[in-house]
């Protein structure tokens, strides 16, 4: 990898996801220029993944697609999903980062969801649309997301993605430790 310019392909055209990737990688490689390109990448899972397994598969599928399209130093995908746990419904994201030799999978913190929101998702709605309706917003998924709304802006979709991405980068930063 050329440390002067790090080329990244993101499996999404959502500016929140692209910015999170750019910010995470730039913070880890402060002496490099980070070139981030977002492309359409099919997840091959429902638009609103309803299980952790579907969510992870969606991110993995997006990364594999990106690897087949453009030459890059890193391929990254983020997939937001929901699941119901013993303590109730929650939303989270899986992040998948790959280069030509390694794959790293991480997951964001979870955000508990009101049961009424989860029930709307079970009926086929997407989280962003449900939140737009509840909070009278427009296209919140390309802004602060449900996270921003339900935390009064103290956390956002982008900040949560950025943290998950930084954590998932550990195997790339310390390859010698992860190869043992």
DSSP β-ladder status, 33-38 and 111-112: unpaired
* Contact of 97 with 76, CB cutoff 8 Å: yes
d(CA 92, CA 110): 5
Coil, helix or strand for 156?
Answer: coil
> Is 126 known to sit in a ligand binding site?
no
Our CA dihedral for 172, 174, 178, 179, rounded to 10 degrees, sits at: 90
Which residues are paired to 78 by β-bridges? Answer: 95
Nearest alpha-carbon partner for 99 in 1, 27, 31: 1
d(CA 61, CA 79): 10
CA 89 to chain centre: 19
- Was 71 annotated as part of a binding site? yes
Tokens of 15: 């500016």
Enumerate the known binding-site residues for Mg(2+): 71
Annotated binding-site residues for substrate read 71-72
Q: Please enumerate, by residue number, every residue annotated as part of a binding site.
A: 71-72
């Amino acid at each position: 990898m050329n440390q002067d310019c790090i080329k990244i392909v993101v499996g999404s055209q959502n500016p929140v996801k692209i910015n999170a990737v750019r910010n995470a990688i730039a913070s880890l490689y402060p002496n490099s220029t980070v070139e981030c390109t977002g492309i359409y990448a099919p997840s091959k899972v429902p638009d609103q993944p309803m299980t952790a397994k579907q969510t992870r598969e969606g991110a993995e599928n997006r990364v594999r697609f990106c690897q087949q399209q453009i030459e890059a130093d890193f391929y990254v995908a983020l997939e937001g999903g929901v699941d119901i746990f013993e303590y109730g419904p929650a939303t989270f994201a899986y992040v998948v980062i790959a280069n030509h030799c390694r794959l790293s999978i991480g997951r964001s913190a979870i955000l508990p969801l009101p049961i009424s929101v989860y029930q709307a998702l079970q009926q086929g709605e997407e989280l962003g649309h449900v939140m737009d309706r509840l909070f009278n917003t427009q296209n919140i998924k390309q802004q602060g997301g449900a996270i921003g709304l339900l935390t009064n802006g103290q956390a956002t979709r982008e900040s949560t993605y950025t943290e998950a991405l930084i954590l998932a980068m550990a195997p790339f930063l310390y390859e010698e430790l992860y190869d043992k």
